[in-house]
Amino acid sequence: MKVSRGARVFRRLAVTAIVLWSLLPILVGVVTSLTPRADVQTSGWLPSHPASTAYSTLINGTAISSSDAGIPSPTDTSSFGPTMMNSATITVLSTIAILAVSILAGYGFARLEFRGSRRLFFVILATLVVPVFTVVIALFRLLSTFHLINTYPGLILVFVSVQAPLGIWLFHNYCKELPREPEEAALIDGCTRWQAFRKVVLPQMRSGIAALGAIFMLAVWGEFLIPLLLASTLDTKPVTVLITEFVGKYTTNYPLVMAAGVMAMMPPAIVALVLNRQIRGVLSGSVG
């Protein structure tokens, strides 16, 4: 199809605008993180004397001294490393748990007919429309009853209950699209249903698992409200919560906040890059 010159120019302008709109905040963050704290208010687009102080402060875990007498200083950055580790642990374990629940339930609803299965499936889907903030207090009370506040299992349970309905729905649709015959061939070839699922169905779902795994990983890594309420101790607090603590009441160390933001962005960016190939595989598969 021949595209007119005007349309081509318009398309390029539109793409450029979208890219700038998406990348500009990140660019501002990176630039600010490299600007000495004293120059933040005065420097232009680019710092005159770029400094990596904010990064070294975060990595070395240096305590920040109060710069203004009488004004409370932001949190000690020595927590940054542990909270990054917390984020990583929570994200990896939650993603595995969400995937496990979603894949098994999605496959079950797609393939196994049992009494009330359709009704149960719709009840689970209905929970998708419930915003987390409306149930977070109830969740807090529930977890507190079972002594799961400030614990990994507690956080993971909540992430699974929040994310799994979406996963079940998507994997249900994904499994519906998978041909039944290879699975049936495996049953005839000597597999039990579980073996057929593990040896034949699961490998067929590999690209879907990679794509949805990446989505869940990014969602859990970036989650703020749930850990803010349910993980307040250094043992469980993720980096998203810690970064907000760098914002002081009267003064804020912007380079530090931005550097923490940039560093917190790295793991999901790496995951997205690594899984990009698989995710593209899903999309190309979906159109034959």
Note the residues at the interface with other proteins (CB under 8 A): 179, 181-182, 184-192, 195, 200, 203-204, 206
Q: Which one, 70 or 179, has the nearer CB to other proteins?
A: 179
> Alpha carbon of 40 to those of 32, 35, 47, 103, 158: distances in Å?
7, 6, 8, 48, 39
Nearest distance, CB of residue 202 and other proteins, angstroms:
9
Q: Which one, 70 or 190, has the nearer CB to other proteins?
A: 190
Two tokens, residue 117: 């299965």
Nearest distance, CB of residue 195 and other proteins, angstroms:
7
Phi, psi of 249 (to 5 degrees): -70, -40
Give the CA dihedral 129, 134, 140, 146, nearest 10 degrees: -40
Q: Which one, 169 or 197, has the nearer CB to other proteins?
A: 197
Nearest distance, CB of residue 24 and other proteins, angstroms:
42
Q: Which one, 68 or 184, has the nearer CB to other proteins?
A: 184
Nearest distance, CB of residue 109 and other proteins, angstroms:
17
Fill in the amino acid letter for 179: P
From the CB of residue 276, how many other CB atoms can be counted at a distance below 10 Å?
13
Nearest distance, CB of residue 54 and other proteins, angstroms:
47
173-193: buried (b, 16+ CB within 10 Å) or exposed (e) per residue?
ebbeebeeeebeebeeeebee
